[in-house]
């Protein structure tokens, strides 16, 4: 693999993992902020664990499988910008506790932005079965956008 391509792949994988970890941090922060609402805090903690699992998938790719990737399929700069946005939101929410509704809306917006950066979409694999494997791994803990939307419906209109 050419060094430039390898560097681009590593940059994308690293950026994707950073976003997943930042999202886990966002959900952990929200669990602390909304600790008084047990069902909501549980939702935040569960979703934080799922984001941690997604980050672990990128760690696996970075550490064990870089030779199985042909090329990045997304722009690292866009992912890095998303990462900064998540980090800024975490800091903002730490300074002023958002309502459950506001937090859910922000989380859903981020999740929709992140939809294209999961492992099976962020890179092109040399073997298509690897992409399917990562898709299956994602499916095992997917559904958190649906759970967030359901929670938003339960909260009701602002």
Could you please state the CATH topology (level 3) that the domain comprising 3-155 is classified under: Ferritin (1.20.1260)
Q: Determine if the pTM surpasses 0.85.
A: yes
Give per-residue pLDDT as tens, 11-20.
999 999 999 9
Are the beta carbons of 71 and 9 closer than 8 angstroms? yes
Cα-flanking dihedrals φ and ψ of residue 127, to 5°?
-120, 115
Average pLDDT over residues 66-79: 84
Q: How far is residue 21's CA from residue 52's CA, in Å, rounded to a whole number?
A: 6
Q: How confident is the model at residue 26 (pLDDT cuts 50, 70, 90)?
A: very high
Question: Which H, E and C letters describe 88-108, residue by residue?
Answer: HHHHHHHHCCCCHHHHHHHHH
Average pLDDT over residues 1-30: 89
Lowest mean per-residue pLDDT among 10-14, 39-43, 120-124, 139-143: 139-143
């Amino acid at each position: 693999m050419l060094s430039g391509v390898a560097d681009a792949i590593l940059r994308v994988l690293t950026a994707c993992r950073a976003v997943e970890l930042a999202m886990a941090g966002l959900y952990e922060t929200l669990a602390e902020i909304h600790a008084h609402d047990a069902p909501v805090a549980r939702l935040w903690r569960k979703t934080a664990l799922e984001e941690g699992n997604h980050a672990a998938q990128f760690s696996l790719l970075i550490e064990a499988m870089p030779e199985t990737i042909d090329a990045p399929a997304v722009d690292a700069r866009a992912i890095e910008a998303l990462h900064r946005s998540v980090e800024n939101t975490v800091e903002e929410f730490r300074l002023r506790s958002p309502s459950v509704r506001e937090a859910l809306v922000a989380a859903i917006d981020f999740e929709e932005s992140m939809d294209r950066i999961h492992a099976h979409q962020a890179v092109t694999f040399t073997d298509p079965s690897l992409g399917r494997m990562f898709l299956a791994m994602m499916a095992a803990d997917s559904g958190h956008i649906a759970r967030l939307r359901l929670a938003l419906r339960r909260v009701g209109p602002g």
